[in-house]
Chains A and B, each alone.
Chain A
Amino acid sequence: MKTLRLAIFIVVALVHVSVPASVMWNRERTLRHGRVWKFRTAPVDPVDAIRGRYIALRFAAEIAPPQVEVSDRSIKPDTLVYVSLKEDADGFAQIDQISETVLRGDNIVTAETGYWAQNAPRVHFPFDRYWVTEKNAAAAERAYIENSREQKQNAYVTVRVRDGDATLEQLYIDGQPLPEYLRAHPPK
């Protein structure tokens, strides 16, 4: 009985360690070998930008361009869809195709649909939170809000995509990774 309990515990302990470890392994592979996509952030409501320890991101690419291809014109809100990405003239990601059927590749991310805007549903990408350390939270919030306004849109994130797995890599403010930007612009 004791041996059985011990054996079960060892299996449980392996599951405990393997759950975070597998996340770590998959994300490391995506971050090392995935294709880099740049997503320009959309202007934010300053009140709604930071929630505790993460920045709530909104992207310009959530609204599809007019020439987008949509597999089904009756896609409802809250549907899981496969979004194929392409780069615009400035090198930022934009939606090329929205499909309810499975698509594969380093340009495919899953997303959830919102309400329809013009010719396609709005989509919500599954990487809309950028976690920051407690030390940097206030400064990061200020920097992000200042650079994500209607008058000044100077922030973007890089996302690595590998075979459907999308991982948020870095938040760039004024062309610099967030930690570097904060070092260069210390709070007064």
Chain B
Amino acid sequence: MKVKVKVVLKDGILDPQGKAVLHAINDLKFKGVNDVRIGKYIELIFDGLEKSQVESEIQEICQKLLANPVMENFEYEIEESA
């Protein structure tokens, strides 16, 4: 079972990388982009667990390790076919 995790900075927290990319986009003369936020994408492959178990494990893994709750939010998607 594949779990796709996204970790993003909370709103209001400065994202210097995002700002740099935004400047580059503006330099390329694209007009429509107003802000850029850069986060992390993490894939985890689970084996031998029921979906409900995966769900509770991934929740804890995200809270404990993958995201820092002081400054980051996370979301995940469980892909059963994989």
A binds B: no
